[in-house]
Amino acid sequence: MQAVFKKEDITKALGVTLGVVEKKQTLPILANVLLEFNESGFHLTATDLESEVRTSGPLESVSSEGRTTTSAKKLNDLCRLIPDGSSIEVKLSGDKIQLKTPSGKYSLATLPSDDFPIFENQESGEQLKVNSKDLRKIFSTTSFAMGNQDWRHYLNGLYLELKDDFLTAVATDAHRLAINTFEVSAGSSFSGIVPRKSVNEMTKFLADADGEVSLLITDSSIELNTGNITFKSKLIDGNYPDFNQVIPSGDSFVLGVDVKELSESLSRVSVLSSDKYRGIRLNVSDGSLMVSANNPEEEAGEETLSVNYSGENIDIAFNVNYLQEILSHQEGSVCNIKFFGSDKSCLMLPPDADFPKYVVMPLLI
């Protein structure tokens, strides 16, 4: 195999693969990228056995087609440091891949391409066409609430459900719950739990996508196609909990807060909260919200804000990080917090919409 490509084209493609390449190298070949040359251009594939990404780019010329695998990190580091605008000639010679530029020659070790694990083709299913911005939005506004290395493996991912022409994303770590949804045109339904790492990679790819992308979820896998990037991932095996049972209902008192004002107040007062629990106390009464915190060193801080509230007095505590993350995903300047009692979870959502919807459990401090 022998071909020539531009430095910018190969580094852009390698950047797509690096998030998937296995860092801990349970198998040496998982640290490699599969590099293929043919008349249509070059193609790169990376996998960690749980997910796979494939992307492509143009060749300036191709003398002979072929494929091999080499270290994704070393190839990326080397190509990135080659001067901008350079053409790079690549040639497979024995068990080494030779790179040649106008000023240098480089040799990288390879492993046989036949040993590189490739995902099987997805089972048949309907390709769902969705707007890339809508899909990225429901990912970014919910995925921060996913579990992280939780023993309940099904919490370490994002639950996706297509039902009645709505695509819904749900994430929870058992202390908070995030839900968002948008309407799609579909003639089918599906559901599955996408692993945490795969969600983060898909969100990254969607940030660079424009217009429609295709999404396919089967019983065991998900596939996202954003043009020249195809990403596949296995799904987490397990049943997701009934999240609707966690959403509080019944009589509530609504607190309307200025998002920026509350967020800044929480940042200041939480400096004096416990490092372990990160607890912040909210004391709500007619037209007033007092934010307070203290720590084992007997340090304390409090601030009082004017708010839109008329209801029973509420004295409740939360993990300040949970509140801050939710506030950071509010598009409007005002957020409604619905209280159902001082010992019950609260519901946070925009004042003029039902989504995105967030449930936060109180702290007992």
Residues 104, 152, single domain; the answer is no
- Domain boundary (244, 266, 292) is at 244
User: What is the rounded CA–CA span in Å between residue 233 and residue 51?
Assistant: 4
Residues 138, 179, single domain; the answer is yes
Residues 342, 315, single domain; the answer is yes
Residues 233, 296, single domain; the answer is no
- Domain boundary (52, 81, 115) is at 115
What pLDDT, on the 0 to 100 scale, is given for residue 132? 94
Residues 133, 228, single domain; the answer is yes
Instruction: Flag whether 63 is in a domain.
Output: yes
How many folded domains does the chain comprise?
3
- Please state the rounded mean pLDDT for residues 225-232: 94
Residues 195, 140, single domain; the answer is yes
Instruction: Flag whether 123 is in a domain.
Output: no
Residues 74, 152, single domain; the answer is no
Which tens digits make up the pLDDT trace of 173-192? 999 999 999 999 887 888 99
Query: Two tokens at 307?
Result: 């708010």
What pLDDT, on the 0 to 100 scale, is given for residue 124? 63
Instruction: Flag whether 121 is in a domain.
Output: no
- Please state the rounded mean pLDDT for residues 273-292: 94
Residues of 180-202 as b/e, b for ≥16 C-beta within 10 angstroms?
A: bbbebebeeebbbbbbbbbbebb
- Please state the rounded mean pLDDT for residues 158-180: 95
Residues 277, 307, single domain; the answer is yes
Residues 253, 309, single domain; the answer is yes
Which tens digits make up the pLDDT trace of 91-148? 999 999 999 998 899 999 999 999 999 987 766 666 899 999 999 999 999 999 999 9
Instruction: Flag whether 269 is in a domain.
Output: yes
CATH of the domain at 13: 3.10.150.10
- Please state the rounded mean pLDDT for residues 3-17: 95
What pLDDT, on the 0 to 100 scale, is given for residue 123? 60
Residues 239, 266, single domain; the answer is no
Instruction: Flag whether 365 is in a domain.
Output: no
Backbone phi, psi, residue 303, to 5°: -140, 150
- Please state the rounded mean pLDDT for residues 282-286: 95
Query: Quick check: 174 and 152 in contact, CB under 8 A?
Result: yes
Residues 193, 301, single domain; the answer is no
- Domain boundary (244, 269, 300) is at 244
Q: What is the mean pLDDT of the chain?
A: 93
Instruction: Flag whether 168 is in a domain.
Output: yes
pTM for the model: 0.90
Range of the domain at 293: 247-360
Question: How far from 308 is each of 89, 143, 268, 359, CA to CA, in Å?
Answer: 66, 30, 21, 20
Three-class secondary structure assignment of the chain: CEEEEEHHHHHHHHHHHCCCCCCCCCCHHHHEEEEEEECCEEEEEEECCCEEEEEEECCCEEEECEEEEEEHHHHHHHHHHCCCCCEEEEEEECCEEEEEECCEEEEEEEECHHHCCCCCCCCCCCCEEEEHHHHHHHHHCCHHHCCCCCCCHHHCEEEEEEECCEEEEEEECCCEEEEEEEECCCCCCEEEEEEHHHHHHHHHHHHCCCCEEEEEECCCEEEEECCCEEEEEECCCCCCCCHHHCCCCCCCEEEEEEHHHHHHHHHHHHHHCCCCCCEEEEEEECCEEEEEEECCCCCEEEEEEECECCCCCEEEEEEHHHHHHHHHCCCCCEEEEEECCCCCCEEEECCCCCCCEEEECCCCC
User: What is the rounded CA–CA span in Å between residue 71 and residue 21?
Assistant: 10
Residues 267, 334, single domain; the answer is yes
User: What is the rounded CA–CA span in Å between residue 350 and residue 330?
Assistant: 7
Flag whether pLDDT at 27 surpasses 70.
yes
